[in-house]
Amino acid sequence: MADERVADPGPLGLAAFAMTTFALSSWNANIWKGAGLMPALALAFFYGGSAQLLAGMWEFVRKNTFAALAFTSYGAFWLAFYAIVKFGLPGSGTDSVAIFLLGWAIFTFYMTIAALKVNNAVLAVFVLLTITFIFLTIGNWGAGHTTLVHIGGWTGIATAAAAWYASAAGVINSTHGKVVLPIGPRG
């Protein structure tokens, strides 16, 4: 049984991840010309980074290892992404972003294996995120491959939609005291 000293931080962590992923993925997919990277960077620092990091800490209190690791790690991902874009060091190679993304693809892949025991909604987020990181890693390798980055953007939008669904299910089901949005329990 989850430790009830704190409310379930899962919906917050998922919402922060979803909105930040949506903003960056929209930019990667090149949907809104001229919208730029600024909204994604602001979200990366304040919502995707900070709120997820807090959600991860609260999951540690609840003794939920999977969610604690996921939220804390992806919160750190967003803060690191912000730092890379905002404070990029001169002299970094053309593969710097690809190597950064490759590490996250590996992490996300093994978290996907763990998500097999969580629920279908969270599993969908991790499967889609793994695919997104693979496309973005390859798309950023070498001189860059715009088409693959755009595909990664579109799969990132699908990832955001899945995360929003999982977040909505968490808060709506909890608030209503019954299953309104099914998440498909696993394990």
Say what the pLDDT of residue 32 is.
82
Residues in the chain: 187
pLDDT digits (tens, 9 = 90+) for 24-74: 999 999 998 777 789 999 999 999 999 999 999 999 999 999 999 999 999
Highest-confidence range of 1-10, 30-39, 84-93, 129-138, by mean pLDDT? 129-138
> CA of 49: how far to CAs of 36, 77, 97, 150, 183, in Å?
19, 7, 18, 23, 25
Closest of 181, 99, 147, 131 to residue 21, by C-alpha: 131
Residue 131: C-alpha distances to residues 6, 32, 65, 113, 177 (Å): 33, 22, 23, 14, 34
Model pTM score: 0.94
pLDDT digits (tens, 9 = 90+) for 157-166: 999 999 999 9
Q: Compute the C-alpha angle 87/90/95, nearest 5°.
A: 95
Q: By C-alpha distance, which of 22, 38, 15, 16 is closest to 154?
A: 22
Q: What are the domain boundaries of the chain? A: 10-176
Which H helix or E strand runs over 60? helix 52-61
Residue 89 has pLDDT above 80, yes or no: no
Percent of the chain surpassing pLDDT 70: 95
Neighbours of 42 (CB within 10 A): 14
Please tell me the distance from the alpha carbon of residue 175 to that of residue 116, in angstroms, as a whole number.
26
